[in-house]
Each structure stands twice: as structure tokens, then as C-alpha cells.
Chains A and B, each alone.
Chain A
Amino acid sequence: MNVGKQIEEGLLTKNPVAVQLLGLCTALAVTTSLLNGLGMGLCVLVVLTLSNGLLSALGPYLPERIHMVSAVVVTASLGGVADLIVQAFFPDLAGNLGLFLPLMAVTCVLLSGAGVYAYENGVASAVLEGLCRGLGYTLVLVLVGVIRELLGKGSFGEGLLNSGRGFQVFPAQFAAGGLVHPVGGFLVLACVIAAVQGFLARPKKAARRKETVRR
């Protein structure tokens, strides 16, 4: 179990959204604000962690033939429970997420790779993997959500910070309203993915340059 490597892979080098391009549907649709991005991200984080742990613990008792079906059943059930809990205790968030809240189950199945990692590794490692991948997902969603909310509405943390009112960074009439629309989601997410890819490509170049200098 290599904790550092797992964290680095989940958050950056194998980030589920920015590098593996998984769960894009929800990543594009719900990220209109910090609240929505964070809410969706945390839901996925919790469901992913629980389902990974559970599948890893159940793994030895399940015949290999039904591994994939079991992963889908367990993850989707946990997603369903999370959906109900959000609807009951965070009705505003549930209203914002709308259709994409029940879609969380699908996102979780995708992000966990139908439990492949969980079945092949111990419980602790699987839980950590779920946690890291969930965090990586949340990170991208929060980033995209903050950018779209800030540039699209001129506000920050509406519905979450400053007792629900959020902070108006600049007047809404100067904001690029298009960024809150679906097209803005594509644009911002593309920029974030490009930035991450650029960042991942950069250190290699630097290392190569150092090598040539040494020579």
C-alpha cells in the first residue's frame, strides 16, 4: 500500500475528471456554483469511499463471475440512499442538482471502475482509493463551480457562505452570463483540463533540461 502514490494519482496524475475524463456528465451539468460543485463532489466522495470499502470486504465471499454485477448493485444502492438523505436534509441542494442527484449512482460506478480496484486490494487500501478519487472529483467540480459562479454571476459561495447570501465580488451586470449556461461548463472544464494536462507535462520538460545542462 503506497499512500503517497495513491493520493497523488487520485488528485492529479490519474484525476478521474481532468485526466481520465470520467463522470463528465455531472461535472458539466451541476457546476454552476461553489455550493452545487461541492455538494455533488462530497456526495460522490462519501458513496465512493463506502462502496469501495464494502466491496473490498465482500470480495472474498463473492464468486468472480458476479463481481461486476455486485459492484453495480452495491454502489447504486448506496447512491440511492445518499440521494434520499440529500433530499431529506438539504432540500435546496437537491433542488439545484435536480436530475443529476440520482445520476450520482452512475457516476460512482464509473469512478470506482465497477469495483475492480476494491476487489483486488485490501479494505484500507480500497477505502483510501475511494477517498482519493472522490477528492480528485470534488476538487475539479469545486474549481469549475467557483470559476463559473465568479465569472458568470460575479459572486462567490452563494447559498453556502455569508449565511447563504454569498459574496458579490463584482456587480452581476458585468458578468459573462454565458458561463453559467451549459456551454460555459464545456468551456471552463476544457480550460481546467488543459491546465492540468499542461501542469502534468511541465515537470518532465524541466527534468530533461536539467539533464542536458548537467551533460
Chain B
Amino acid sequence: MEKDERKAERSRFPKLPEFPRRQDEPLPPGERADIRNEKSFLRLTGILCLLCAVCGLLLGLANLLTEDRIAENQGSRNMGVLEEVLPYGGNYQEIRYSGGDPTIEAVYEAPEAGWVFQVSPAGSFSGRLTLMVGVDVDGVVNGVAVTDSGETEDLGLRASEPEFRNQFTGKTAAVQLEADGGDIAAISGATITSQAVCAAVNSALAAAAELG
């Protein structure tokens, strides 16, 4: 009963034309006309799987061989920056930061000398700005370095030049730009970046006060 009804329903629609097969072009040897043909389908999938497996193996092998060296490069680059902002002679220990400041990403402790804070301040001008701020045990800023930024060259990127960075050395209390009533000269044309750097230094000082 139900079947008949369905049949009647179907017959009300006109039959779709068959998809035209191209008869003029001969198929490549070994190929079947229809992808739904099981044998051809399995063959295609099989070959592609094999190819992907080989390529994946190649990539995995390359990763295995280069992994240590890449980590080493990253480590030595970080170590160089750590030495720059708080000279200690190696042996920095990464410690867990449990304070409430979300912009502080990592803390490296140099026992009895101070801390280096990796800070990504909110409100950088373009993309992520990451700085290393070295603070000694007395809560004095020792050095600031930009490690990663999407800032514009010649404008925001000038934050990584010594003339700007060195202004922070020796600061103990919260820093502000001259325009905001402080004593840090902003980079002309890059006030927002300058503000972000100030915010990062302030975060680091606050965190150092918590730790020390």
C-alpha cells in the first residue's frame, strides 16, 4: 500500500535526463568510466593513501632529524635575550607565575639576581608584541628587549632600538609616557606601541613586587 503511494509520488516528477557520457574521448588505459565502480575507486584511494603515507613518513623523518636543532636555535636565541636584559651567565630557571596578570607569559628566575618576564601587553599597534623585561631583586628594571612583533618598520619597530629601550633602565615605580604625565619619551608616530611597552614594563614591575 505504502509502496504504491510512493511510486505514484515519484512518477509525478519528470524523469531527469541521463548525464551525457562523452563518447568521443577514449578513457585512459586502466580507467573505468564510473568512479562508483568499486575496483577503480579502491585503486584510486589505495594509491593516494600510499602516496600520502610516504609523504607523511618523509615529513616525520625530516622533523625527527631537525627537531633538536630547531629547539636549540630557539633556546640560544632566548638565552641571548635573557642575558641582554638581565646578565646572569646562564642557568635561568623558568618558574610558574601564579599572579593574576594575563599578559605575563613566562617568568625566568635568576636566583638572587632577579627575574625576566616575558610579557605580551594588550593594546599593541599591530599583531602580537612580545617583550622581555629584566627586573633585579630590588625591583629595578635592568633592561627591556622586543623579541617578537608585528609592528611597522621605522615606526613601531623602533621600540627595539636602544634609545627607546634604555629609558626604562633604572625605573622602580610605574612608568608613563611624557604625554600622560610620566617621563618616557614616546617614539614619534608610534604612541600606541610606546604605551604598550610602558604597560609591559608596569606589568613586570608589579609581578616582581609580588615575587620579591
Contacts and interface: CB of A to CB of B under 8 A. Distances in A.
A188 to B, nearest CB: 15
Contacts, number: 64
Given A63-B47, A70-B48, A88 B70 contact: yes
Nearest to B68: A88
Contacts of B48: 66, 69-70, 73
Interface in B135-177: 152-154
Contacts of B185: none
A142 interface: no
A19 to B, nearest CB: 30
Contacts of B63: 84
A91 B76 CA distance: 11
Interface stretch (B28-36, B97-105, B110-118): B28-36
Contacts of A81: 58-59, 62
B35 A181 contact: no
B31 A84 contact: no
A63 B30 contact: yes
Contact of A63 (B31, B69, B152, B154): B31
Interface in B51-65: 51-52, 55-56, 58-59, 62-63, 65
**What is the predominant secondary structure among interface residues of chain A facing chain B?**
helix
B66 interface: yes
Given A64-B31, A74-B55, A180-B153, 11 more contacts: A58-B51, A62-B47, A63-B47, A65-B31, A65-B35, A66-B48, A70-B48, A85-B66, A88-B66, A88-B73, A177-B154
Interface of B: 28, 30-31, 35, 40, 43-44, 47-48, 51-52, 55-56, 58-59, 62-63, 65-66, 69-70, 73, 77, 152-154
